[in-house]
A and B are shown apart, each in its own frame.
Chain A
Amino acid sequence: MTTRSLVERTGTFFGLVLVAMIFGALVGPQFFAPTNLELMARQMAIVSIAAVGMTIVIVAGGIDLSVGSMIALCTVVIAQLLRMDASPFLAALAAIATAALCGLINGVLITQLRVVPFIVTLGTMLVIRGAAKGLAEERRIEAPATWLNDLLRVTRGETLLPSGIWAVITLAVLVAAMLRYTRFGRHVFAIGSNERMARLCGVAITRTKVIVYALSAAFVGFAGLLQFSKLSVGDPTVSVGLELDVIAAVIIGGGSLSGGRGTVAGTLIGAAIMTIIQVGCSQKGLANWVQQIVTGCIIVAAVALDRIRSAHGTGT
């Protein structure tokens, strides 16, 4: 590891420590109590897992705005299947498959129509939201209680953290390894960093991109599962605008919208920073509008700092 990448990594981590210390000082030592930390972990699980998927897309130089809609569709799919007496496991699997299919469609549209990802996923954001509302007949879908509702709850026999959070951690580690230790992962970086170079090197660009969108959407499907677990109903109007939180987490974590840059660890730190601000502000009794202003400032500051840092790096 060069000193440069060390600076890049510790930069984001330093931001996390700083934000944690500020809110620790504001709220008091109970801010770092195990129960509070666990609360925050539960809070950030949904954004985190979707952001892990989004990291792959952004590293490949793309973007996916349909994330929030996919999550809503997933909660509806699960609720409907549970009402039809499907097994919880099957319902969860169907939700993930549904999201992956949405991602596959995104990928095919982007590569075959040669329309930029921003526009394609802006369109599918509406399409998928509409599909979710249609499937739910514009209502919340009540579902029978199953173990799916306990994914973000500590139940007896479990240690430390709810199973859903363990799953998020495991998946994040797998994606981090995939980006670093597989040929596919290096191809993703190559496409995002310089697509013409990737083409010159014989990288299968269309196939790789389609897989990127489908795979990333599968992680969104898992986020949908956690969202259902939190709500315990299928709600077609949930997670409106969530894609922006997800993208923000990746960007705060060092991802670049021009592609070729981003890490899973950075993304998780980005999600953690946003969660600390949210939880900290509400525990301090600050209004929602304060949270939003602070989060907005952090996003711009994080990217600006990154620019300054990388300009400094290349200048030497």
Chain B
Amino acid sequence: MTATPAAAPRFEMRGIRKAFGATIALDGVDLSVAEGEICGLIGQNGAGKSTLMSILSGALQPDAGQIAIDGHPFVPESPHDARRAGIAMIYQELSLAPHMTVMENIMMGAEPMRFGLVDWPCMRDMAARALGELGHDDIPPDAIVGSLSVAAQQLVEIARALAVGCRVLVLDEPTSSLGRADVEHLFALLRHLKTQGHAIVYISHFIEEVKSVADRFIVLRDGRNAGGGTTKDATHDHIVALMVGRSVGDLFPRTQRTRGEAILEVTALEPGSATFTLHRGEIFGIAGVLGSGRTRLLRTLFGLEPVRSGRVRVGVYSGAARPHERWGQGMGLLSEDRKEEGLASALDIADNLTMSKLSPFGPAGLLSPSRQRAAASRWISELEIKCAGPAQKTEELSGGNQQKIAIGRLLHHDVDILVLDEPTRGIDVGSKAQIYRLIDALVADAPGRKPRAVLMVSSYLPELLGLCDRIAVMQRGRLGEAIPAASLSEHELMMAATGGAPGA
């Protein structure tokens, strides 16, 4: 359980605290990494990894705690400060200018100048040297970055960090879009950089990767240090136990459910390699880490992305369909991306709630705003949405209330199959509990209405275990077999989702 390295730390974070409103994201977290060391940072989604790294990189300011670099106090006020202090972040989403050349990207902001003009030969030399140091002189400095593979682009990004003298590298899920061979190359490079004295923080969902590349690991759970140690002494099992750490609470109601007829049948669907059946009166969960292809599977089912092969049957309808046909067949999708896709933030609540089905509000293409608002008002009171009224714009509401509007759209449309992608992402605990009750009520036995069916994706495992009847794990683009949730523990589910061996 060592939170400190053996050698003198290159950087050290002590007692870092950060709250966003009422939510405490970090509560006294320690992290330090020595020169010539790779430290794995592990934790479930929402454990505080990215908040911690945002603080190190100056994008966020901590409420309490100290940071020191080489023993000197360091208070970054912007990413630029951190960069000057030698801290480089390599995110999943690379921050390169795709239309510019490799050398321009590497030397960006530090272009060699001569008589006030860019010294191109010198720039080419410097870029080539930076790439050579990485053992990748196969990447031509004149190539356009957008034409390179993702792996090569990642190298360019690392080369840029090193060219401006960064000594601390933070890599956030660097392998999520790499093939096996590229992952090995990246690991070899990281080990090489380690011998040069760089301090590296490696963030990953894949425990095996961390065990393979890192010397030490730190686990965060609910914004605190949950433990850590040297990777060679820790088993996969032990690390998962630290990540999970607690049992499923009573947050999840479960009223009497009766499994009814099969309402959605998916056979060998590509992308996703998915085969499963969803019944009325059932919640079917899909577990999997970010980038495992779970969102893509849901979008393909709903017709937002093309079906490559396989069969889908929704009720009595067979075959692929476009979104408006899916709505007509009684299927609705809740997008994982509330801001970019789920809601139109500049429109009012009534429009957002009812957009998929405006036909009840008037004959022949006409629409009575008062009837639309009346319908919206009913959902506002039913779902306890806190707002000024149906004419308020959704951008003014809290995340939890926005999410209730997005779910309310499926209820307004009165669909039989609710496809929910991360139904509680980024919302407060109160709204979460409410949404859990709502989802449970949808599939519960009720007089006068057939129970509905719910297909949901979540990266929050307790939620899946607490709500679902059956769960299947999605890993690296393939959906596994459905297992009754009652026979699963969070530990087992995490083991499966984080993958014994990558690609297995």
Contacts and interface: CB of A to CB of B under 8 A. Distances in A.
Interface stretch (B198-206, B216-224, B361-369): B361-369
A192 to B, nearest CB: 9
Contacts of A4: 393
B347 A200 contact: no
Interface in A1-40: 1-2, 4-5
Contact of A199 (B304, B351, B367): B304
B445 to A, nearest CB: 30
Nearest to A256: B346
Given A200-B323, A200-B333, A314-B395, A186 B367 contact: yes
A197 B343 contact: yes
B21 to A, nearest CB: 15
B338 to A, nearest CB: 10
B277 interface: no
B365 A200 contact: no
Contacts of B368: 181
A202 interface: yes
A194 B355 CA distance: 12
A1 B328 CA distance: 32
B370 to A, nearest CB: 10
A291 interface: no
A193 B344 CA distance: 6
A93 interface: no
Contact of A200 (B328, B341, B359, B389): B341
Interface in B283-325: 304, 322-325
Contacts of A316: 396
Contact of A2 (B323, B342, B362, B389): B389
B395 A2 contact: no
Interface in A147-201: 180-187, 189-190, 193-194, 196-201
B252 interface: no
A185 B344 contact: no
Contacts of A180: 369
A203 interface: yes
A204 interface: yes
B138 interface: no
B335 to A, nearest CB: 6
A260 interface: yes
Given A2-B388, A182-B365, A204 B324 contact: yes
Contacts of A190: 344, 347, 351, 355
A70 B37 CA distance: 68
A197 B341 contact: yes
Contacts of B392: 2
B11 interface: no
Taking chain A's interface residues, is the majority helix, strand, or loop, or is none over half, making it mixed?
helix
Interface size class of B (residues with CB under 8 A): 35 or more
A261 interface: yes
A128 to B, nearest CB: 30
Nearest to A258: B346
B355 A182 contact: no
Nearest to B302: A200
A260 B356 contact: no
B304 A183 contact: no
B342 A1 contact: no
B366 A194 contact: no
B356 A202 contact: yes
A316 B369 CA distance: 26
B324 A203 contact: yes
B58 to A, nearest CB: 24
Given A180-B369, A181-B367, A260-B347, A186 B324 contact: no
Nearest to B347: A193
Nearest to A5: B391
Contacts of A198: 344, 355
Given A2-B392, A185-B367, A201 B323 contact: yes
Interface in A230-261: 260-261
Interface string A192-220: 01101111111110000000000000000
Nearest to B361: A183
Interface in A283-316: 313-314, 316
B327 interface: yes
Contacts of B345: 193-194
A296 B230 CA distance: 66
B262 interface: no
Interface string B324-360: 1111100001010000111111110001100110110
- Specify which of B324, B346, B352, B393 lies most central, judged by the most chain A CB atoms within 10 Å of its CB: B346
A260 B346 contact: yes
Given A182-B367, A183-B366, A197-B355, A260 B323 contact: no
B296 to A, nearest CB: 15
A194 B324 CA distance: 16
B409 interface: yes
A202 B393 CA distance: 21
B341 A183 contact: no
Contact of A181 (B344, B356, B366, B393): B366
Q: Which 5 A-B pairs have the closest CB atoms?
A: A202-B324, A193-B344, A194-B344, A201-B356, A196-B341
Interface of A: 1-2, 4-5, 180-187, 189-190, 193-194, 196-204, 260-261, 313-314, 316
Given A183-B358, A183-B362, 15 more contacts: A4-B393, A182-B365, A182-B366, A186-B351, A186-B367, A190-B347, A190-B355, A194-B340, A194-B344, A196-B341, A199-B304, A200-B335, A203-B324, A204-B324, A260-B344
26 contacts: A2-B389, A2-B391, A183-B359, A184-B365, A185-B367, A186-B351, A186-B358, A189-B344, A193-B346, A194-B340, A194-B344, A194-B345, A194-B346, A196-B335, A197-B335, A197-B342, A197-B343, A197-B344, A197-B355, A199-B323, A201-B323, A202-B326, A203-B324, A203-B355, A260-B344, A260-B347
